[in-house]
Chains A and B, each alone.
Chain A
C-alpha cells in the first residue's frame, strides 16, 4: 500500500496530492468531513510550498508521507529550502481580509485550526513539516 508520494512543484500537482491523500484515508476508513479536513490542511501546506517557496518551478519536488499510529494520522511534508514559520504565524480576522479585498492569508490559519500537532524540522538543505491529527476511533 502506497504511503508516500513525490510530486513536481506545479499547481497541477495539488489534485494529484489530494487524490493520493484521499485514497490513503479511505483505505483506512477515514472519510467525510474529517478526511476533507486532513486533505485540506495538506493541500494548504503544499500549495504554500509550491507557489511561494518554489514559484511553481516544476524542476523542484516535494514529498508527502502518511502514517497511522495509535489513532493518530501523521503527515510529513519534505521540502527543500527554508520552512515557512507556520507555528509562529499570527492569523488575521476574516473581516479584515474581506475589507482589504485580499485573496490569501487563510491557508496557514486552516492548517493550525485543523491539525492537533504541528512541528517543523529544519535541516541544512531541507525541512519537514510534521502534522498530527487525532481521529478518535474513526480509522480501521
Chain B
C-alpha cells in the first residue's frame, strides 16, 4: 500500500492506495502518528483509491479518533466505495465519524 500525503489549507489529506489490512496498517499508523507528533490534527482521509479495508485498517483510524478530538482536531473520510462504506456500516462507525461523498465538502467542514 502507498499513502499519498498532501498538505491543504488548514488540514492534511491522506490518500491510501490499495489494500489497508493487517499487513499494511502499520504504515498508516506510523503516518498518522507522525502527523499528530507535529500537531497536525485535522485529517482528511481520501478513500477514492482504497480498494479494501479490514478491521486492522479501520482500527488505526479508530485508535486515533479520541486523541484527535482531545487535541481539537477532526478526522473526515471521503469517497468511500460501496464495499468500504459497508465495512464502516458493519462496525457502526458510519454513525460516529464524518463521511462525505464529495471532496468539495471537506474544506468547509474543517473551517466550521
**A residues neighboring B (CB under 8 Å):** 11-12, 14-15, 18, 32-33, 36-37, 39-40, 43-44, 47, 50-51, 94-95, 97-99, 101-107, 109-110, 113-114
Q: Which residue of A lies closest to B53 (CB)?
A: A40
Partner of B91, one of A39, A47, A101, A110: A110
Q: Which chain B residues numbered 46 to 74 have a C-beta less than 8 Å away from chain A?
A: 52, 54-56, 58-60, 62-67
Q: B93 and A32: CB pair below 8 A?
A: no
Give Cα A36–Cα B60 distance, bound, in whole angstroms: 20
**Partner-contacting stretch, out of B2-10, B16-24, B104-112:** B16-24
Q: B59 and A102: CB pair below 8 A?
A: yes
Q: B21 and A97: CB pair below 8 A?
A: no
Q: A12 and B23: CB pair below 8 A?
A: yes
Q: B22 and A103: CB pair below 8 A?
A: no
Q: A32 and B56: CB pair below 8 A?
A: no
**Tally of chain B residues near chain A (CB < 8 A):** 28
Give Cα A15–Cα B59 distance, bound, in whole angstroms: 18
* Residues from chain A with Cβ under 8 Å of B62 in the complex: 94, 97-98, 102-103, 106
Q: A110 and B90: CB pair below 8 A?
A: yes
Give Cα A109–Cα B58 distance, bound, in whole angstroms: 13
Q: A94 and B54: CB pair below 8 A?
A: no
Query: Nearest chain B CB to A14's CB is how many angstroms away?
Result: 5
The 19 sampled A-B contact pairs (Cβ below 8 Å) are A11-B21, A11-B22, A14-B21, A18-B19, A18-B21, A37-B86, A43-B22, A44-B55, A94-B93, A98-B62, A99-B66, A101-B64, A102-B59, A103-B56, A103-B62, A104-B59, A107-B55, A109-B91, A110-B87
Over the window 95-111 of chain B, the binary record of Cβ atoms lying under 8 Å from chain A Cβ atoms (1 yes, 0 no) is 01000000000000000
Q: A103 and B83: CB pair below 8 A?
A: no
Q: 5 closest pairs, A vs B, by CB?
A: A36-B83, A11-B23, A103-B59, A106-B55, A47-B22
Give Cα A15–Cα B56 distance, bound, in whole angstroms: 14
* Residues from chain A with Cβ under 8 Å of B23 in the complex: 11-12, 14-15
